[in-house]
Chains A and B, each alone.
Chain A
Amino acid sequence: MVLRLGPFKIPWLGKDSHKDDPYWGFFIDTPPADLANTVTELIRNAPEGNVFPTKAELHTPEITSSHVKGMAEYFGADMVGIVKLSSNEVPSSLPSPPPRGRGEGEGEEAYPFAVICVVRADYDPREAPGIGGQAPVQNGLFISFVLSAWIRELGFRATAVPDPDAEKLAALAGLGTLNEKGRLVTAQFGSNVHVANVIRTDLPLAADG
């Protein structure tokens, strides 16, 4: 709720509360009867596009990293981190990387970096299956879909898949620490966060942490 005085709004006198809304519980907690009514399923099932054949001219890895983070924040991420990966940090769900040109990238990791985007979650998506409860997942899917598509359009590999170690990677990127349940706890939002699909890429970046 906000206090209104003519043209002025004073939002800091109280945060939005939905306790007077008789339908809010349905929005947050009732799982959809038809998954086709959700945007999350739509994005999850979307096929991955091709890598643009010409690589974009890049700045230094540090500047490229700041641009990737800036773009993710523009798409809606609340926190973004970058981690350097080793070969043992590859989930089984990861598709095999698209081939490069002959001789290019031989002997290198297919995806040397991971970009981790975190969004605020007012409700824990693991416990709130309604369309509203899944809103952080929807926001995370939007960010990882568009950001990975943008990196592919820059001419580099990028793939966004669900990752059981996403929160561990977020902690490695310095976005927070893991609590005893293995959940990410951030300085800004506490544990009210959702880690989006991890984007693995060969875009030359500078790792955090």
Chain B
Amino acid sequence: MRAEKISETLDDAADAGGKATEAEFPIPYLGRSVKIVGPHVNVDMNQSPHPKNARGELGKPLFNWYRNTVSNDPLTRVSAPNHFADRRHFLTNLINRSTKGKINPQKVAVDDPAAMTRHIKAVAHYLGADVVGIAKAHPTFLYAGSRYVQDGTAEDAYQQETPEDLVRKFPYVIQATTAWDYNKLQAHRHQIGDAAYHVSQMKGVLMLKALEGYIKELGYTALRGVVTPQAAGVAGGIGELGRNGLVINKNFGARIHMPDPIMTDLPLVADEPVDIGVEDFCKICRKCANTCPTNSIPFGDKVVFNGIEKYKINWLTCYKLRPYVHDYWGSCLTCVAVCPFTKPNVWWHGLATWALHACPIPARPALVHALKWIDDRFWGVTRATRVSWLGYDSGIKPGDQACTVAGCTASHEGKSHSGAVDGDIGYYAPLKENTNRFVKRDA
């Protein structure tokens, strides 16, 4: 009897605590594309794909691909995680493992947070960012457990503090990121697409490290490896969450990285989530789901996973393909390349996203059908564009050897100077029909 009473008292106290927490940290509005609808357990990044794989929990092929393979492409060896021949050539590794600088004891006073917000965005752009957003921090955005930076360290003095305490101390999250080159991205599932992805990723890591250092020079804390990047991106108005699980931006579509953001006590003004019509488009479009080589993107509706209502991709099947294509590419990018939002950052793209934003929500399906028809008609249902760049050529079939560089007279052993490689078709490995057999569609 007494034990029951104690238990009830504890439950009441827990409820009261939960309500108090909810009153202090009301559920944030994340836009129309993703919602927090139930209890959420903070994600422990030790249970995410790369750490699980590094521990060998995803099987030998994936483990060996991640830890024991050297890329056959020199550019990949200096720009992609884990597939280098010499770790010292991979700048991101050097940055992520570097010693952390100290906070400047002479703090710069911030009388006007709006002016500081404009300044920090201008600084991020000056250092190389293509998109910058400020999110108001919320405990659900934070990782559980220790800090996480891929292939590096992000330890700090606040590791033992709860997400709530961290949010109280550091109420803002800066998400600044770089976009991938549109033209090279067209050669997705190819080393040219890898170059677009990995080089912009390196530039982004460098830019964020410099921004982190600058915030410390201003006299404020800059924590890394604490916040889920997608949550910061959506809450900070960088974009909406698409069916492909990626944050889709109004200027660049899905071709932006979501790197490790900076959590800070620098006084700022947070941005609001945006509505650019991704929610309406993804309900109808399904181009990413149709073209995904591993059928990892759902065709159906959103689901509630860990208290979050969103489209839930199958990360394991997405991940599983990689050891089998290691000779041809490292990062798939198909769902990015085919997304109708992924276009050059030019006026007609701005006009289309503005029209979606300005269109009343009930009328949007008709506009989406029209825009998707235009996308299918002019950019194709799938992407098979031939891209040539610095000796790389996606018009050469996977496994074939040819030099297609105009005017090259070098004697390439085992390669033809192939005039036979003509036309505008790009070849990408593997073909979708070859992967259907090991991953079935969900609908």
State the A residues within 8 Å of B (CB).
Answer: 6-9, 16, 18, 21-24, 26-27, 30, 32-39, 42-43, 46-50, 52, 56-60, 62-63, 67, 70-71, 74-76, 131-132, 135, 138-139, 142, 145-146, 149-150, 152-154
Are B210 and A70 within 8 A (Cβ)?
no
Task: Kindly report which residue of chain B lies nearest to residue A132, judged by CB atoms.
Answer: B126
Question: Contact: A37 with B354, CB < 8 Å?
Answer: no
B74 to A154, Cβ gap below 8 A? yes
A18 to chain B, nearest CB (A): 6
A135–B125 Cα gap in the complex (Å)? 11
| CA gap between A49 and B90 in the complex, in Å | 9
The one of A34, A39, A46, A132 that contacts B88, using a Cβ cutoff of 8 Å: A46
The reply to whether A39 and B209 form a contact with Cβ atoms under 8 Å apart is yes
Inter-chain contact B118/A21, CB cutoff 8 Å: yes
Partner of B100, one of A22, A23, A36, A76: A36
Complex: A7 Cα to B199 Cα, angstroms:
29
Cβ-neighbour of B403 out of A38, A59, A76 (below 8 A):
A59
B residues 99-150 in Cβ contact with A at 8 Å: 99-102, 104-106, 108, 112, 115-116, 118-119, 122-123, 126-128
Contact A70:B390 (CB < 8 A) given known A34-B101, A48-B88? yes
- With a cutoff of 8 Å between Cβ atoms, the chain B residues found around residue A56 in the complex are 74
Q: Are B91 and A24 in contact (CB under 8 A)?
A: no
Q: Note all chain B residues with C-beta closer than 8 A to A145.
A: 91
Cβ distance A150 to chain B, nearest Cβ, rounded Å: 5
Chain B contacts for A75, CB-based, 8 A: 199
Is the pair A33, B104 in contact by a Cβ cutoff of 8 Å? yes
Asked if A50 and B115 sit within 8 Å, CB to CB, the answer is no
Indicate whether A58 sits within 8 Å of B89 (C-beta atoms), given known contacts A23-B108, A46-B94, A132-B126: no
Min CB gap A51→B, angstroms: 9
Contact A74 B74 (CB under 8 A): no
CB of A153 within 8 A of CB of B89, answer yes
Chain B residues positioned under 8 Å from A132 (CB to CB): 123, 126-127, 214
Residues of B within 8 A of A50 (CB): 85-86, 88
Produce 1/0 per residue, B401-440, CB < 8 A to A: 0010101111011010000000000000000000000000
Tell me whether A150 and B217 are in contact in the complex, defined as CB-CB below 8 angstroms, given that A23-B119, A49-B86, A142-B203 are known contacts.
no
A47 and B91 CA atoms in complex are apart in Å by 11
CA distance A63 to B392 in the complex (A): 13
Q: Is B344 an interface residue (CB 8 A)?
A: no
Q: Which residues of A contact B88 (CB under 8 A)?
A: 46-50, 149
Contact B108 A26 (CB under 8 A): yes
Residue from B89, B405, B408 having most chain A Cβ neighbours under 10 A = B89
With both chains docked as a complex, state the minimum distance between the C-beta of A61 and any C-beta of chain B, in angstroms.
9
**7 smallest A-B Cβ distances: which pairs?**
A7-B354, A37-B101, A37-B213, A36-B101, A49-B88, A153-B74, A149-B89
Give 12 new A-B contacts, CB below 8 A, not counting A57-B413, A71-B390: A6-B354, A7-B351, A22-B112, A33-B104, A42-B98, A47-B88, A49-B86, A70-B389, A74-B390, A132-B214, A145-B91, A152-B86
